[in-house]
Amino acid sequence: MAIGRRQFISALGGVSITWPLAARAQQPGRLAIIGYLGPSSPENPGPNTAAFLQRLHDLGWVEGRTITIEHRWAEGRPERVAEIAAEFVRLRVDVIVTTATNDAIAMKQATSVIPIVSAIMGDPVGTGLIKSLARPGGNVTGLSVQGTDLAGKRLEFLREVVPGFHQLAILANPDSPNVRLELAEVQAGARKLGFDTDTFEIRRAEDIVPAFEALKSWADALYVVTDPLVNTNRIRVNTLALEARLPTIHGFRGFVESGGLLSYGPNFQDLYRRTAEFVDQILRGTKPTDLPVEQPTRFDLVVNLTTAKALGLTIPESFLVRADEVIE
């Protein structure tokens, strides 16, 4: 039942041996190593990372005393993720933690041996990360936010607070596998609700301003499909949307906290706390293939009243009563 087994080449004759993670972690003076690829930047680690670290502490893992954590941040740059993946392999970390589908894919491409726990995966089966939720079948496990299943619901919320709009712009990075899946769902949901849609593609931070120049004269509202690039640049996205007087709908609270209008999605701090529990089990010897991928149980509807007022929108009281959080 050992996990995280890696081969080492013996200095005596080049003999290949394997040591269970639990045994290695218990060697005198040897702390288990977590490779943590954060969602944003070292300057802004955020409450989700704090929730992960606090839960690890609650479970008895103290950084510098019982574990070592190698913190890394890609800051929305895909090329950095591959570099970080190679670095984690060189460091021989015992478990890798990722916070996005793309990052988990990059880590799996770098290693099929080191356990990978992802706090956020959109559709891990559809993107080939795992075989099934119940039986992951490899070195990846964690939580699936099933973002594509929520797209239609988000559009219904947006229509409720912005009555009468018809033209929906979609901002998305098509190079992101999970974005492609959600994008199809957004387009299908929009057709069902009778919206006209146009997708504006971004692949790097420099594409964001030109995308807004193209969409702002056409759109009545904006659906932002989340990926690491968009997350890192969420303040810029929301600032440009507000300047264009476009109401926005997002997949998680952080965007609304940064000035977006609405979000509907899983409670991310819950997901990060649960991720710490996955890591705890792996460090104690459980194989990732024996840990079914879980789905969120709590979903939050969040509205930013300050943004609504700036856009000249009056949010119905019936909507505010149903919201899980109202930011003023």
CATH number at residue 221: 3.40.50.2300
Domain membership flag for residue 210: yes
DSSP element (H, E) containing 37: strand 32-38
Q: Is 92 found in the same domain as 47?
A: yes
Q: Are 47 and 269 in contact (CB under 8 A)?
A: yes
Q: Is 159 found in the same domain as 37?
A: no
Beta-bridge partner residues of 326 = 303
Domain membership flag for residue 39: yes
Q: Is 277 found in the same domain as 176?
A: no
Q: Is 139 found in the same domain as 10?
A: yes
pLDDT of 42: 64
Q: Is 305 found in the same domain as 230?
A: yes
Q: How do strand 262-266 and strand 299-304 relate by DSSP bridges?
A: antiparallel
* Number of domains making up the chain: 2
- DSSP type of residue 71: E
Domain membership flag for residue 275: yes
Measured distance CA(139)–CA(135) in Å, rounded: 11
- Residue 128 C-alpha from the chain's centroid: 16
Domain membership flag for residue 235: yes
Q: List b or e across 14-24, with b for residues whose CB sees 16 or more CB atoms inside 10 angstroms.
A: eeeeeeebbeb
Alpha-carbon torsion angle 325, 301, 141, 227, nearest 10: -100
Q: What is the pLDDT along the chain (328 residues), one digit of tens a residue?
A: 333 333 332 333 333 223 344 444 445 567 999 999 987 666 566 788 999 999 999 999 999 999 999 999 887 777 899 999 999 999 999 999 998 888 999 999 999 999 999 999 988 998 889 999 999 999 999 999 865 568 999 999 999 999 889 999 999 999 887 788 888 899 999 999 999 999 999 999 999 999 999 999 999 999 999 888 898 899 999 999 999 999 999 998 889 999 999 999 999 899 999 999 999 999 999 999 999 999 998 899 999 999 999 999 999 999 999 999 999 8
Q: Name the residue range of residue 187's domain.
A: 148-266+300-327
Domain membership flag for residue 213: yes
Domain membership flag for residue 1: no
- Joined tokens for residue 165: 């709009």
Q: Is 211 found in the same domain as 97?
A: no
pLDDT of 5: 32
pLDDT of 212: 98
Beta-bridge partner residues of 35 = 70, 96
Q: Is 60 found in the same domain as 35?
A: yes
DSSP element (H, E) containing 19: strand 16-19
Q: Are 32 and 67 in contact (CB under 8 A)?
A: yes
